[in-house]
Amino acid sequence: MKLTGKAAIVTGAGGGTGRQTALRLAKEGASVVITDLNIEKANVTAEAVWALGAEALVMQTDVRVSQDVNRMTEHAMKTFGSIDILVNCAGGSASLIGKLSLLEIPRRSLIWSPFSLPLKPTI
């Protein structure tokens, strides 16, 4: 339990790398703020974190929207007192592979979209 007493925010924690990161942090004793656009998937991750005996706060958050990020941060601080670890895993798009044609995506989106989720929250 190396992270006992620490609190972490994990974006994109509803699945994939974000979910696994949240679970690992919980196994190490951290309290975890689980954020995702998909609240149902975030709740599934939270159930797994609670099953490990760790605290979890679930928030539906769009990390591209500063008001969402501010709300999430304020709520996390009120709940845990401090945030010690930040992990940005938002932006996975593996579920879209093979489902969209480049012809269906507006040209402007092709320029910014691949960078929007991984880059904007970091900035």
CATH number of domain containing 75: 3.40.50.720
What's the domain count of the chain?
1
Q: What is the CA radius of gyration of the chain?
A: 15
Instruction: Give kind and range of the element (H or E) at residue 87.
Output: strand 85-88
At 53-87, the pLDDT tens digits run 999 999 999 988 889 999 999 999 999 999 999 99
Does some domain include residue 17? yes
Nearest to 81 by CA among 57, 46, 49, 51: 57
The reported pTM is 0.77
Does some domain include residue 2? no
